[in-house]
Structure 1
Amino acid sequence: MTETLDAWTTIDGDSEHYLGWRVERLRSLAERLLARAVPLLSVVPRAAAVETKLVLADVLRRDIEAIDLLRTRIHELGDGWEPAWTPPERPAGAALDLARATTGTEVLRRLADGAGELRRAVDAAGDLPAVLDEPTRDVLARVRLLLDQSVAAAARTTPAPEELDVVAAPADPARPMSQPPLPARDARFTLLDPGTPIKHPLAELAPAAQAGYVAQWLLISLEIPTIEFCCRAIQTYDFPFAFVRDMNRQLWDEVRHGQAFLQHSLAMDVPLGEAPATLQLWLATDVDQPELALAIHQRLGERIGIESAFSHVRLWRGLGDDRTAELFAVVAQDEIGHVAIGNRWVRHRSASEDVPRLDERARERRAEFSIASVPRGFEPEAYRRAGFTDEEIELIRLAYQDVQRAAA
């Protein structure tokens, strides 16, 4: 019996031929998603308005998750396809149009216009005879769900005011999908000079405004820069695909944190623009060695984030603000995972005896851009879960003792 699939191929008991046909459909779908994800890796840092940056990052992380699902199934079927995250030499078509968009509204419109085509590609990949295996059906159903979620998320987003709805032009018109020299910042926020220490004046604020201000400060000074760091790392670091998966998971967390901090700030009547914006983290991690960037941002910066988040949990609970405390409790647990990512990939690239010198260089680099490196607390159990050794935890304890003595 011969079962016709379309005008150019048939199945006649030839399982190898059928397998190749199925893999080709899955690869075609994955390449279509990749053609959207690669330009978004540069568009997200170039988008100015925080609302736009968050929703585009949310679309991006879902696209990468869908690519991951398809890649895994393609590998299970015996094909070694790998996504290429670096921009193509000669970009063209919808991907090029996406990279050249000048407003967030235009980017979202192009994404919406392309969603229908992607859905049709999912349907085409699943338009197989009854012998299709259930694992492939499940993967395609999950990819379709991710696409639908992205469309819904974009539709729910309140667009930024027209005068703020800007996506900065690519620095190099010949390479429009490359990472920008500097990310764009929302014009509602005052941009600090790179030499200005990153801190928030909590004690100077009235109690009613403190939680909202801190939430906004963390949104613009830490969550947004970390989203941008994830985009740059995925596109430019030559690591195995497992690294992309790790960074995409962190990207998801940072988007959730950013959305939560944005909503928390607005709910407490703190208008956007009260906290200052910075570029220090982007500049500090603009180094040639990925392991050094990961030490600066993940191993050291996110570790301080653990300490800060736990201290905020205690602070807000003590003030009777359980809502803010619970927000930071979730953030604290996520930060542990982010530090674990940094530790895993620093150790992937560095011998154990080289890590202490890497930490020293990371502290020096942060100091160049007025970013603090001293401990904000001591959380030994969190450090263990994040992948620090007992010897490293002891060094953190000693450093925190120094901080306490200096404050006494």
Structure 2
Amino acid sequence: MANELRKAAATALLCSDVDAKLLQVRRLARMRREGTLKPDCASPCISNCEPGRPEKPHLVQATQVARRGFVSVRGRAILMHAVAHIEFNAINLALDAVQRFAGMPEGFYDDWLTVAEEEAYHFELIRAHLRHLGAEYGDFDAHGGLWEMCERTAGDVLARMALVPRVLEARGLDVTPGIQQKLTQAGDHHAVSLLDIILRDEIGHVAIGNRWFRYCCEQRQIDPLTTFTELLAIHLPQGVKGPYNMSAREQAGFSQREMDLLK
């Protein structure tokens, strides 16, 4: 593994073996805590890189993904597979933030490496439950919507912070309670408890996105709300659809003005 944080993050990002990627993320986080790895904030990133992925799951259009469910074991397995795929993508998103954006404060790299480590933990939790349901990660098709936005924001850290954690990941805050309610009705209480852990941590991840988005706006002397609205108009002209988990969004650091836009 490379002995500089951003290069090491790029190595982990490109790793296509799932368990090897998880191991590399854990090692990176441990070495950073021990002071072994330092970020070279001026070193170049690997531009236009595709993240390492296993051969399966096959990536298809969102409309082609198998129907998820709550009543049957198969339906819940498809649901848990979708959650596992989101978490796997989130590992790559966090690693890409570390390796891609030069010139940020060291705290930026620490924050996103922490996110990568927590997303790896989430993936392992969900994969274990998926196995309990008789399936394995890769058994069902998946889609790559999260990474598409990553590619579209690759050239600007402000746009990345605005649109990936504050929009795409924040949707997880919104939809998780409804999923938990249906899983409770189906009697899958273990899955509900796992989603409790993920929801708790994702509030922190979205808060990290909020913090660094506002930092970027402050550095450029631009208004965060105006800037965010303009970016939404460009990249997501259909807007951010409800329902909204206002309590979780407030905990994640969204301002009242931002939340008023959702009402």
Question: Fold conserved (TM > 0.5)?
Answer: yes
Q: Give distance in 2, aligned partners of 1:273 and 1:52.
A: 16
Q: Give distance in 2, aligned partners of 1:240 and 1:379.
A: 31
1:185 paired to 2:141: no
Q: Give distance in 1, aligned partners of 2:131 and 2:236.
A: 31
**Deviation string, structure 1 residues 19-69 (Cα, Å, up to 9, x no partner):** xxxxxxxxxxxxxx97164443122222223222222222222222223xx
**Residue 378 and residue 304 in structure 1: after superposition, are their counterparts in 2 closer, same or farther (change >3 A)?**
same
Which position in structure 2 is the counterpart of 1:267?
132
Q: Give distance in 1, aligned partners of 2:31 and 2:7.
A: 12
Letter in 2 for 1:275: F
**Residue 55 and residue 283 in structure 1: after superposition, are their counterparts in 2 closer, same or farther (change >3 A)?**
same
1:365 paired to 2:229: no
Partners of 2:77 and 2:133 within 8 A in 1: yes
Q: Give distance in 1, aligned partners of 2:245 and 2:234.
A: 23
Moved >6 Å (runs of 4+): none
Indicate which of 63, 80, 92 corresponds to 1:215: 80
Q: Give distance in 2, aligned partners of 1:394 and 1:357.
A: 16
**Residue 256 and residue 198 in structure 1: after superposition, are their counterparts in 2 closer, same or farther (change >3 A)?**
farther
Shift of 1:367: 7.0
SS at match of 1:239: coil
SS at match of 2:223: helix
Partners of 1:230 and 1:250 within 8 A in 2: yes
1:43 paired to 2:8: no
Once the two structures are superposed, the pairs formed by residues 6-405 of structure 1 within 5 Å of their partners are 35=3, 37-67=5-35, 83-85=39-41, 87=43, 178=46, 181-192=49-60, 196=62, 201-203=67-69, 207-220=72-85, 222-237=86-101, 238-286=103-151, 287=153, 288-350=155-217, 353-362=223-232, 364-365=234-235, 373-375=240-242, 377-396=243-262, 398=263
SS at match of 1:217: helix
Give structure 1 stretches of 5+ with no counterpart.
1-32, 72-81, 89-176, 399-408
**Residue 206 and residue 318 in structure 1: after superposition, are their counterparts in 2 closer, same or farther (change >3 A)?**
closer
Shift of 1:318: 2.2
Q: Give distance in 2, aligned partners of 1:308 and 1:199.
A: 18
Shift of 1:354: 4.0
SS at match of 1:35: coil
Shift of 1:334: 0.8
TM-score by length of 2: 0.85
**Deviation string, structure 1 residues 276-325 (Cα, Å, up to 9, x no partner):** 24443233223321111111110111110111222222221222211010
Shift of 1:200: 6.0
SS at match of 1:202: coil
Give structure 2 stretches of 5+ with no counterpart.
none
Percent identity between matched residues is 20
Aligned length: 257
Letter in 1 for 2:115: Q
**Residue 277 and residue 367 in structure 1: after superposition, are their counterparts in 2 closer, same or farther (change >3 A)?**
farther
Q: Give distance in 2, aligned partners of 1:218 and 1:360.
A: 30
TM-score by length of 1: 0.57
State which structure, 1 or 2, has the greater radius of gyration over its C-alpha atoms. 1
Shift of 1:199: 6.4
Letter in 2 for 1:253: E
Q: Give distance in 1, aligned partners of 2:144 and 2:73.
A: 28
**Residue 353 and residue 278 in structure 1: after superposition, are their counterparts in 2 closer, same or farther (change >3 A)?**
same
CA RMSD between the two structures: 2.8
